[in-house]
Amino acid sequence: MAHYIILWNFTEQGTKNLKGCIDSIEIFKHNTERRGNPYHGTFYSFGQYDAVSLVEAKDDFEVREDLLKVDMQGNLRSTTLKSITHEEAIKLAESISE
């Protein structure tokens, strides 16, 4: 499974409706887990992004579909980073070094 880091920003609507933002992320969590994909949590943050979530999924399509459902509610906008683990990075570095 691939790992995805979701960077969330509150929209203007979401800033006026903080509970709506939290509810939207709960819906994202529910949809992710309903598919059988691990949801590792959401952390609310200071700075450029208002929250960060970490999930795993079988394919990009599943993640994109769940994110679009959240985006359509209007409280949040997301930026997604597909990532690899530290162990995968080590294997990658070793394969390039050969």
- Residue 35, judged by CB atoms within 10 A of its CB (0-12, 13-18, 19+), counts as middle
- The 10s digit of each residue's pLDDT in 15-66 is 999 999 999 999 999 999 999 999 999 999 999 999 999 999 999 999 999 9
Taking only the tens place, the pLDDT of each residue in 60-94 is 999 999 999 999 999 999 999 999 999 999 999 99
- Is the pLDDT reported for residue 98 higher than 70? no
> Whole-angstrom Cα distance, residue 74 to residue 59?
25
Closest CA to 70 of 40, 31, 36, 37: 31
Domain 2-97 class, CATH top level: alpha beta
- pTM given for the model: 0.89
